[in-house]
A and B are shown apart, each in its own frame.
Chain A
Amino acid sequence: MLKHILKMAWKRKKANSLILLELLAAFLVLVGVSAILLHNWGLYNKPLGFNYQNTWSVQFYPSASWEEPSRVRGVNILNMLSQMEEIEGAYTLTFSPFLGMRWNDDVVYKGKTFNANLNGSSDGAPLGIGMKLLKGRWFGPEDDGQSYQAVVINKNLSDEIFGDENPIGKEVDVVKYDQEESEVRRVVGVFEDYRQQGEFSTGSHQMFLRYDVNNTKAWFNAYALVMKPGVPAEFEEKLMSQLNSAAPDWDFEVQTWSQLRRLHINNNMKNVILVAVVGGFLMLMVCFGLFGVLWQNVTRRTREIGLRRALGATGANVQGMIIMELVAFAILAVIVGTILLAQVPLLGVFEIFTWGMFFKSVLLSTVLICGLTALCAFYPGLMAARYDPAEALHFE
C-alpha cells in the first residue's frame, strides 16, 4: 500500500511540486524555530551554579575616586551589614549576575593565552551564594599573608586551560586591562559554574579573584547580601536608610537577584516568544492552506475514490490513503530539507546549530510536520471516505 501511494505521489509530482515546495519551506521554518526554542530551553535548564532566591545586590558609588578613606568606609559598611539581624551573610562581589556587566581579561598559562570572565569577591561569598565546589577549596583567611594570591575557577575554564592536569596549586598570569604588569595567581579550587550573564547565556570561562577587603590596595564597589529566609521586600527601605546614614554622600542601588533574574528572563523571553508566535502563525497558515488544497484535491478525485470503493476499499482505506499521501509528501520534503540543512553544521555557519542541535531539531520538526500534515488531511480524508461510491463513479 505504501509503495502504491509513493508511486502515485511520484507520478503526480509535477502537479504537486508546489505543495512539496511549501512543505519544504514549512519544514525549514520549523527546524529554525525549533532549534531556537530548543537552544533556549536547554540554556534555561542548565544549572546557574548559585542561588538567586535570597540574595540581594547593593551597588555603591562613592562621592570621589577610590581612596583609602573610601575603602575603610566600605569595610565599615560591610561589617554593619553582616551584623543586621535580617542578613545571613554580607560579602563584596564585584559583578552580581543578570546585570549584563562583564570584565574579560587574559589569563596566561605556559605561554598560552586564554580569555576569562573575571569577578572578585571577599572570603566566603562563593559558598554564601550557593556555588558548588568540585575540587580543592574556596579561598579564605588561610590565604592571608601568603606569597601567592588565590583564585578559584569554573570547570569550563579549568578544562580549557589545564585539560587533564590537576589544576589545584597551578599558577597563572592574569593580565588586567588597566595595568601594565600582569599578576601571578594561584588556583586553589574549581567550582561548577557561575553563570554571570544568567539563564540564557552560553558557557563561559569564570575566574573569581580573592579580594581581601583589609588589604589597603583592595577595591570593591558592590555587596552581595544573603538574606535570612522570609525577609520581606519592604526591608529594602530600612536597608536604604541604614546605608544612607552610614554614607550620606554615597549613592546606593539595591536590587534583589530574583528581580534581576525576572528582568533578564523577560528580556530574553520576548525574543523567544516572538519567534514562537511568528512560527506558530506561519504553521497555522500552512495548515489552513494545505487543508484547502486537499479539500479541492479530494473533490477533483471523486471518481478515483469511487472506483477504489467499488474495487473493495473501505472508507477507512480511502481516508488512510489521503492522509498517507500528504504525509508521504511531508517525508519527501523532510528528506530534501535534511540534506539541505546538513550543510549548516557541516560548514559551521551558525554556532548554535551543532550536529546535536541538528538531530534534535530535525527530529522534532519531522514529528511536528508529519503530525500537522496528518491533521490537515484528516478532514478531507473523512470527506472522501464518506463519498457515496455509486454517485462518485458517475460524478462529472
Chain B
Amino acid sequence: MIRIENTNKTYQTENIETLALRDISMHIKKGEFISIMGPSGCGKSTLMNVIGLLDKPCSGDIYIDEQKIESYRDKDIAHIRNNKIGFIFQNFHLINDLSVRDNVELPLLYRKLSSKERKRLALEALDKVGLSGRVDHYPTQLSGGQQQRVAIARAIVGKPQILLADEPTGNLDSAMGDEVMGILNSLNQNDETTIIMVTHDEEKARRTGRIVRIFDGQLLH
C-alpha cells in the first residue's frame, strides 16, 4: 500500500541544517495497523508529513497504492490526499464555527458531489463513530473524546484507504482514549483501512499490528 524508499529530509534554518529523516525505507501493506514510536523530535511527525504528502522529501521515492509520487504539483497531491488519505490530529483541528456535520463534510467540499450526497456520506461516517445524535452540535459543545470521534468521522468520510493519526489519544483521558482506539481498531478490521498512528503510549501501541521505532531520523529494527 505504502512504500518508502531511501527517503531523506533535511530542514534548512538560517545556517543550521537539521537532518530529520535519514535514508528511511519501509513498506506498509494494505490493511496493516502500525504504530510509530519514538522520543520528541526524532522525526515521527516529519515521517507522517512525508507519507501524508504534506511535505516533500529531499530525496527518495514514495509509492502510494503502488503508484510512485512523481509530481508534487499542488493539484495532483491535493487530489491524492483528498481521495486516498485521511488525517487525524492530536488536537482535533475542528473548525469551531462549523457544526459537526459541516466539519465532517469538509473533505467532500473538494470533490464534485451534490450536497445531498455529501450529507448522506457525512451521516454514514458519523454513524460509524457513534455520533449520529450530535449532528447539529458545534465542536465546543462536545467532550474531547467526542471531538476526536468527529475528527475520525471527517477522516473517513471520503472513504480513504489510508488513515494517518498523529497522537490521536494524546489529548484524551484513558477512557476516551480507549474509545478512540476501539473505533480505529474496528475501522482497521471491518473496512480494511490501513492505519498509521504516531503514539507515545506503549500500551496503545501494543494494540496495533506492528510497532516501528524511530530514533534520530532513523528506523530501529
Contact = CB atoms under 8 A, between A and B. Distances in A.
Direct touching of A and B (C-beta under 8 Å): yes
B102 to A, nearest CB: 7
By DSSP majority rule, is chain A's interface helix, strand, loop, or mixed?
A: helix
Contacts of B115: 3
A297 B115 CA distance: 28
Contacts of A8: 95, 97-98
B81 A12 contact: no
Nearest to B154: A311
Given A310-B81, A312-B81, A390-B55, A303 B97 contact: no
A341 to B, nearest CB: 31
Contact of B54 (A1, A11, A304, A310): A310
Given A12-B97, A304-B95, A316-B74, 7 more contacts: A4-B102, A4-B109, A8-B98, A11-B98, A310-B52, A317-B110, A393-B54
B111 to A, nearest CB: 8
B75 interface: yes
Nearest to A385: B74
Interface in B43-69: 45, 49, 52, 54-55
Contacts of B110: 311-314, 317
| Residue from the set B74, B79, B102, B106 with the largest chain A CB neighbour count within 10 Å | B74
Q: Which 10 pairs show the lowest CB-CB distances between chains A and B? A: A312-B82, A11-B97, A390-B54, A314-B78, A311-B107, A390-B49, A390-B55, A312-B110, A312-B81, A389-B54
A3 B95 CA distance: 16
Contacts of B82: 311-313
9 contacts: A8-B95, A307-B106, A308-B106, A310-B81, A311-B81, A311-B106, A312-B111, A314-B74, A390-B55
Interface in B87-113: 87, 89, 93, 95, 97-98, 102, 105-107, 109-111
A170 interface: no
A1 B118 CA distance: 11
A313 to B, nearest CB: 5
A315 B52 contact: no
A393 B93 contact: yes
Interface in B168-218: none
A394 B98 CA distance: 21
Interface residues of A, number: 25
A309 interface: yes
By DSSP majority rule, is chain B's interface helix, strand, loop, or mixed?
A: helix
Contacts of B87: 310-311
A307 B87 CA distance: 9
B83 interface: yes
Nearest to A389: B54
A309 B97 contact: no
A304 B109 CA distance: 15
Nearest to A310: B87
A117 B59 CA distance: 88
A3 B109 CA distance: 10
A7 interface: yes
Nearest to B79: A312
A307 B81 contact: no
B65 to A, nearest CB: 15
Contacts of B102: 4, 7
Contacts of A3: 115
Contacts of B81: 309-312
B78 A313 contact: yes
Contacts of A1: 109
Contacts of B105: 4
Given A390-B49, A393-B93, A314 B106 contact: no
A393 B97 contact: no
Interface string A157-196: 0000000000000000000000000000000000000000
Contacts of B95: 8, 304, 307
Nearest to B95: A304
A3 B102 CA distance: 11
Nearest to A307: B93
Contacts of A303: 93
Interface in A284-343: 303-304, 307-317
| Residue from the set B55, B75, B93, B107 with the largest chain A CB neighbour count within 10 Å | B93
A309 B54 contact: yes
A386 to B, nearest CB: 10
A312 B77 CA distance: 8
A303 B87 CA distance: 14
A316 B75 CA distance: 8
Nearest to B82: A312
Contacts of B109: 1, 4, 313
A315 B95 CA distance: 19
A393 B97 CA distance: 18
Nearest to A312: B82
| Residue from the set B45, B97, B154 with the largest chain A CB neighbour count within 10 Å | B97
Interface in B2-27: none
A312 B109 CA distance: 9
A317 to B, nearest CB: 6
| Residue from the set B78, B89, B105, B106 with the largest chain A CB neighbour count within 10 Å | B78
Nearest to B160: A312
A303 to B, nearest CB: 7
A11 B103 CA distance: 13
